[in-house]
Amino acid sequence: MSFWNWSFLLLVFVSVTWSDSNPITQQKLDQVSNLPGQSFDVAFAHYAGYVTVNKEFGRALFYWMTEATNDPSSKPLILWLEGGPGCSSLASAMVNGGPFHVNEDGKSVYLNPYSWNTVANMLFVESPVGVGYSYSNTSSDITNNGDKRTAADTLQFLLNWLERFPQYKGRDFYIAGQSYAGHYVPQLSQAIVRYNKENAGSPINLKGYMVGNALTDDHNDRVGLFQFMWTVGLISDQTYKKLNELCNRESFIFPSSECDKIIEIANQEMGGIDRYSIFTPPCPNNSVTKRFLKRWHNVGPIGQSYDPCSEEYTVIYFNLPEVQSALHVNNSIKWEFCSAAVYNNWKDSPISVLDVHQELMTYGLRIWIYSGNTDAVIPVTSTRQSIDALNLTTIGPWRAWYDDGQVGGWTQEYTGLTFVVVRGAGHQVPFHKPKQALNLVKSFLAGTSMAPFVDKVVESSP
């Protein structure tokens, strides 16, 4: 081989090696210039790509980060995790608090005026592997996910991602999520706190976390669900009594056919409503996201988030080749809103994370739990049962909070925890009540109480 050929190969090797180690180069490679179907300009940069979390097995998590719309260098960083287990945070960005939402044609996007990146830099991560665009070169990884490995992999993701985006090292950092992220968020927070104790100079400056309509404690979640279904008139008196009698703590340990039968009766009595939002009509063509059911959870499915027709538009959009190319997706991946393979093969899930919350309160983290009060999957009554089990000291009385003169919901403050109810919201608060959800995250980041009573309340039209 000639000298010039060797020189060329050396130049290519050096260039590739330098680009892999230089964070600015990697950021440029990950930057998204324009989304397909985007007919408008945006005033913020956004990035998408992969971060390897395990080289031996080839596990890589996909992320999408949208900078804050104004002065991003002064804004905190929020990591958003979606539940399931097995559902996509990228999907959540497109139907909840992300800046882009998909139009009905499934081929174009519009700007969300209530995006959370108006107040923070937003990092959406598809976790664990097998969810969305995230993958592993070891096929058995997809059927061996669980809470412990998810927390460990997501912590490793953060450490590696911060090497690529060093400007966020030491930045005020918060974690938020909903549904089964009621496990992910506190468990990841716990992993970070423990990592920081053992590693001086950690780049992760965790300030707090927030979870909504969150799976927290299997027993309390179930008791609260039965209470909610009966209170709002979804089930009969007789079924309510039987649910409490037959589906007790022992039924979590020893399978009970009697409990299964009364749960099926409750399902029949509720009818064809959308349990994620009991007062809104479901999508008439509800064919995209599969409904999942595991015994340890609740009556009714918990696998997916709220199931409006926008899910179908999102699935179409993220499977477009031009979209995957724009987001730097490896090869061609069939993208799903929720992964049945991940959900149906989940390996470990503690019956409660109340002990994790209790541990984290001792570190002075800002901890908020919120709940939409029209959700019949993990309803407000379930969340109140779990908070009550923590035996916290009340420091702020139960009261209404306001949004534009209207009651936005209710709140109560405890030592170490703030609880917020969002009026009229279902399982996904940012989807059903985007403006109120943005007010919620503003107050959370500021560490201030939800807006109190106003002098003049505007009455609703009859």
Ordered DSSP codes for 153-221: HHHHHHHHHHHHSGGGTTSEEEEEEETTHHHHHHHHHHHHHHHHHHSTT-S-EEEEEEEES---BHHHH
Q: Residue 154: phi, psi to the nearest 5?
A: -70, -35
Q: Residue 385: phi, psi to the nearest 5?
A: -60, -45
By the 8 A CB rule, do 365 and 192 touch? no
**Continuous segment of H or E residues that includes residue 419:** strand 417-422
Active site members: 179, 375, 427
Q: Which two tokens stand for residue 367?
A: 């901890």
Q: Residue 23: phi, psi to the nearest 5?
A: -65, -35
* Distances 372 to 219, 326, 378, 419 between C-alpha atoms, Å: 20, 34, 9, 11
Query: Where does 70-119 have alpha helices with state H?
Result: 89-95
Beta-carbon neighbour count of residue 233 at 10 Å? Answer: 10
As a whole number of angstroms, the distance between CA 96 and CA 430 comes to 5
As a whole number of angstroms, the distance between CA 328 and CA 47 comes to 9
**What DSSP designation does 75 have?**
S
Q: Which two tokens stand for residue 171?
A: 């930045």
By the 8 A CB rule, do 368 and 413 touch? no
